[in-house]
Amino acid sequence: MYQRGRQLYLAGEYRQASSTFRAAATQAERDGSPQQAAMNWNNAGGASLARLGFREALPDFLRAKQIAEAFRVRPHYALR
């Protein structure tokens, strides 16, 4: 799912990318992968920001921060 989100982001399909990253983050949480979850929540927020969806981005960034702090992980910022 992450790869699909990345492809959508790079194609400028930010709304779809954000949804895809959210789905990937939720799946990573279910799978017990906090680093992947934090990364994907962060990417979802970044995709929302790319289309100037500030209000939509904030909960995604906060969730990424919450997971990263709880599990003491640093999300990789994979969209650079």
Quick one: tokens of 71? 């599990």
Domain limits at 48?
2-71
Distance (Å, whole) CA 32 – CA 14: 26
Residue 42 lies inside a defined structural domain of this protein:
yes
Tell me: pLDDT of 78 over 80: no
Mean pLDDT of the chain: 92
Name the pLDDT band for 73 (thresholds 50, 70, 90): confident
Residue 76 counted as domain residue: no
- Domain with residue 61: its CATH number is 1.25.40
How many domains are there within the chain? Answer: 1
Q: What is the mean pLDDT of residues 33-49?
A: 95
Segment 7-34, tens digit of pLDDT = 999 999 999 999 999 999 999 999 999 9
Lowest mean pLDDT among 21-25, 39-43, 63-67, 72-76: 72-76
